[in-house]
Amino acid sequence: MATEKKTEKERSVEERLASLYKLQTCLSEVDRIKSVRGELPLEVKDLEDDIIRLQTRIQNFQDEIERQNDLIKTKRGDIETRKVKIARYDEQINNVRNNREFAFLEKEKEFESLEIELAEKNIRDAQARINEKQEEIEKTREELADHEHNLGEKKRELEDIISETKQEEEKLLMQAKELETKIDDYTLNAFKRIRKNARNGLGIVCVQRNACGGCFNRIPPQRQLEIKMHKKVIVCEYCGRILIDGVLAGIEENAAEQPQPKRRSRRASSADKASK
């Protein structure tokens, strides 16, 4: 009874490892498809961000122009009001009764004239800022048009690549989901964590030439023997990737099934030498 349970457990580990390696193969193909797209998705995202930034800049310039126009309108109203005051002071000067009143009215006229000059200067400065912002808007609009043109080309190029690989990618992702159901949650989560941290996206690798297929560090013979027994999940002590032997990965024939070269007897070898 205990032997049967042990055999079932070993078979379960072996099946999990085989499914895990198939899952890795599917995900590696998905990564390859995504790599075909290259930097296009990032370029599209950068262009979209730049377009939003340029549109925001244009809106800020337009808001500034509106503020300057409001300032010009206000200053022009102030100028008209002060001109009315100056005209009233001129009428009052004609009816002054003494020098004191005359000096007071002249000072008021001078003050209003200075305020008019200041308002006119503010209007000129505001108009200069408006002209400057309008030039900035024209330059930014040209830059925006270039970005929108480039974005359209990049999007069409990306859509063409996606349309060519979409069916293949969807098929691989479906296969990956089916394979995930054959793996326990603990092993699957560990695999995903390892794969996420790995530079090449490999969470499980095959032992090749007595070394880890991920970091290429040599694996001790005893460790290799444990890997070939398929009794438990074993990870590389250097890179942390899950290890699997070539037989279980399906890239090597079982050594037991490989034809062994026939050994010739010493008597036959001696006879051959004598005949020569």
In SS3 terms, 199-261 reads as CCCCCEEECECCECCCCCCECCHHHHHHHHHCCCCEECCCCCCEEECHHHHCCCCCCCCCCCC
- pLDDT tens for 232-259 read 889 998 999 999 998 888 876 444 344 4
Together in a domain, 29 and 69: no
Together in a domain, 44 and 172: yes
| The last residue of a domain, from among 163, 178, 193 | 178
What is the reported pLDDT for 260? 45
- pLDDT tens for 24-76 read 999 998 888 888 777 788 889 999 999 999 999 999 999 999 999 999 999 99
First to last CA, the chain: 62
pTM (whole model) above 0.75:
no
- pLDDT tens for 159-188 read 887 887 788 888 888 989 999 988 888 889
Together in a domain, 158 and 194: no
What is the reported pLDDT for 264? 52
* Domain assignment present for 217: yes
Together in a domain, 77 and 193: no
Both tokens of 32, joined, read 């390859």
What is the reported pLDDT for 255? 41
* Domain assignment present for 133: yes
**244 and 23 Cβ atoms separated by less than 8 Å:** no
**109 and 89 Cβ atoms separated by less than 8 Å:** yes
Together in a domain, 49 and 171: yes
Together in a domain, 78 and 162: yes
> Can you tell me the mean pLDDT for 191-196?
90
What is the reported pLDDT for 197? 87
What is the reported pLDDT for 6? 42
Give the residue numbers spanning the domain of 42.
38-178
* Domain assignment present for 258: no
Together in a domain, 196 and 160: no
CA proximity to 202, closest of 36, 28, 18: 28
Together in a domain, 220 and 133: no
Sheet with 204-206: strands ordered across: 204-206, 242-244, 234-235
Residues forming a β-bridge with 205: 243
Non-local (6+) Cβ contacts of 29 within 8 A are 168, 172
Please give the torsion angle defined by the CA atoms of residues 208, 209, 212 and 216, in that order, rounded to the nearest 10 degrees. Answer: -120
Q: What is the mean pLDDT of the chain?
A: 85
Residue 205 maps to which CATH number?
A: 1.10.287.1490
- pLDDT above 70 as % of the chain: 87
* Domain assignment present for 276: no
H or E element in which residue 76 lies: helix 40-93
Q: Cα separation of 243 and 93, whole Å?
A: 105
How far does CA 174 lie from the centroid of its chain? 24
* Domain assignment present for 271: no
Together in a domain, 112 and 243: no
> What is the DSSP secondary-structure string of 15-60?
HHHHHHHHHHHHHHHHHHHHHHHTTHHHHHHHHHHHHHHHHHHHHH
What is the reported pLDDT for 86? 92
| Confidence check: pLDDT of 87 > 80 | yes
- Strand, coil or helix: what is 97? coil
Together in a domain, 147 and 161: yes
* Domain assignment present for 273: no
For the chain, how many structural domains are there in total? 2
> Can you tell me the mean pLDDT for 132-150?
95
What is the reported pLDDT for 1? 40
| Confidence check: pLDDT of 275 > 50 | no
What is the reported pLDDT for 272? 53
* Domain assignment present for 259: no
* Domain assignment present for 6: yes
| Confidence check: pLDDT of 7 > 70 | no
**10 and 232 Cβ atoms separated by less than 8 Å:** no
